[in-house]
Amino acid sequence: MTERAMPSPVPVDAAAWLRGARRLVVKVGSSTVVDGRGQVRADLLDPLCSSLLDWVEGAPRRGAVLVSSGAIALGWPRLGLKRRPSTLPDKQAAAAVGQGLLMAYYEQVLGRRGRPAAQVLLTADDLRDRARFNHAHRTMEALLGRGAVPVVNENDTVAVDEIKVGDNDRLAAMVAVLIQADLLILLSDVEGLFTADPRRDPSARLIPLVAHPGDPTLGASVGQPGPMGTGGMRSKVEAARMASVNGIPTLIARAAPDVLERVASGEPCGTLFLPSPLGLRGKKRWLAFYPAEAGTVVIDAGAAQAVAQRGRSLLASGVVEVVGEFRAGSVVRLVTPAGQEVGRGIVSFGAEELRRIKGRRSHELPGLLGRVRTSWEVVHRDNLVLAAATEPAREEGA
């Protein structure tokens, strides 16, 4: 776990990010939304929603998205179940009941301020496909442009493992990328990221600032989620990493009624994860989040260095092995022979062709494939994002 000072002029207090933000994503976990009796925690959420709208109305062209968990926790008592369900059909049934209750609450509380609450239910498939991602983006823009508050949750009723994002922390990071948010706030039942699970270790200390979210040792100390939570602190750290790679800072803080005011006033609270100075843009943002890779391309040390450190495209001469079956245009993982992930990218050749040309020089390729092309890059650098582990080397010099 690292607590390094940030050497650059990037703001290291959440207040500056919040003040300057135009787009904000706030995620509330199940324990924030639902009490032990299966009721909405209106005492907490009413003021929280109200301060969110105060922030939106505090400057022109601001918009906020709420990512809200709680459908299952609200739904199972209403469905007459004795305890939180453990089977998928029961969880899905509970979510179907609870999601309606959740939206009824948000419509009422946001409606008091004249703001429509817009239910947006997403699965990983909606963000995996570039065309669907763009549709979702346009819908969000339309909602924000008209002053609605999108209330996002995973589409639990239909989501099975293959199409699940899996937890709402990651979903919130994906939504932050989708709307090009300036700040992601993950609210939970804990002050922020600690050096150890504070429920188990009383000596655990709060980490106020994470300057390098890509640091692989970060998260080594995280324990299990709380009784209502799904992903726990691990998924929050992962979400913060995703956001950081995409140039978005993340604050993890305790969900208090006045938490946004406290952040805005500059009071130190929570853990702030700084964005990577090499924040991705456009297609690369999407690519970094593309959850399913169609195959793996093993590349040699020279190619890994060219791609990761010199910002070059991947050429056939650097390809050592091709794993899996995929078509041209698929997303593949690039790894070294030792298995270290270099990045992911959109490949210009199908697996079968790539096997024929691996290790060969560009001038040999027309003869091998029996056709000519204007470019022979296997993965063009514009279609490539580096793995978090390879980012810091470039960040230092940036």
Ligand X SMILES: Nc1ncnc2c1ncn2[C@@H]1O[C@H](COP(=O)(O)OP(=O)(O)O)[C@@H](O)[C@H]1O
* Interface residues toward ligand VHF, by CB under 6 A: 29-30, 69-73, 95, 153-154, 156, 167-168, 228-231
194 binds, among ligand X, ligand VHF, none (CB under 5 to 8 A by kind): ligand X
Beta bridge partners of 345: 332, 384
Task: Give which of 338, 342, 340, 325 is closest to 379, Cα–Cα.
Answer: 342
Count of residues that bind ligand X according to CB under 6 A: 24
Q: Which one of the spans 29-37, 94-102, 143-151, 324-332 is the region binding ligand X (CB under 6 A)?
A: 29-37
Strands, sheet with 209-210, edge to edge from the N-terminal-most edge strand: 117-122, 149-154, 63-68, 23-28, 183-188, 250-254, 271-273, 209-210
Q: In 3-state terms, what secondary structure has residue 335?
A: strand
198 binds, among ligand X, ligand VHF, none (CB under 5 to 8 A by kind): ligand X
Beta bridge partners of 252: 186, 271
Q: Which one of the spans 90-98, 173-181, 186-194, 318-326 is the region binding ligand X (CB under 6 A)?
A: 186-194
**Strand pairing category for 117-122 and 183-188:** unpaired
Taking the least distance from each CB to ligand X, the nearer of 226 and 277 is 226
Task: Give which of 118, 121, 98 is closest to 110, Cα–Cα.
Answer: 118
Instruction: Give the ranges where the chain is alpha helix by DSSP (H).
Output: 14-20, 30-33, 42-57, 71-78, 88-111, 124-128, 130-145, 168-178, 232-245, 259-264, 282-289, 301-310, 351-357, 365-369, 391-397
Candidate list 199, 205, 327, 373; residue touching ligand X; CB under 6 A: 199
Least Å from the CB of residue 229 to ligand VHF: 4
Does position 64 interact with ligand X (CB under 6 A)? The reply is no
The CA-atom distances, in angstroms, between 35 and each of 214, 225, 227, 259, 370 are 34, 16, 12, 19, 66
Taking the least distance from each CB to ligand X, the nearer of 270 and 318 is 270
Taking the least distance from each CB to ligand X, the nearer of 167 and 353 is 167
Considering only residues 219 to 238 of the shown chain, the ones binding ligand X according to CB under 6 A are 221-223, 225-226, 228-233
71 binds, among ligand X, ligand VHF, none (CB under 5 to 8 A by kind): ligand VHF
Does position 194 interact with ligand X (CB under 6 A)? The reply is yes
Taking the least distance from each CB to ligand VHF, the nearer of 51 and 168 is 168
Taking the least distance from each CB to ligand X, the nearer of 59 and 220 is 220
The CA-atom distances, in angstroms, between 290 and each of 62, 134, 168 are 28, 13, 16
Share of the chain residues as helix, strand and coil, in percent rounded to the nearest 5: 40, 20, 40
Candidate list 29, 318, 343, 345; residue touching ligand X; CB under 6 A: 29
Least Å from the CB of residue 92 to ligand VHF: 10
Q: For residue 82, say whether it is annotated as part of any ligand binding site.
A: no
Least Å from the CB of residue 242 to ligand VHF: 15
Known binding-site residues equal 27, 69, 156, 168, 188-189, 230-236
Interface residues with ligand X (CB under 6 A) are: 29-32, 188-190, 193-194, 196-199, 221-223, 225-226, 228-233
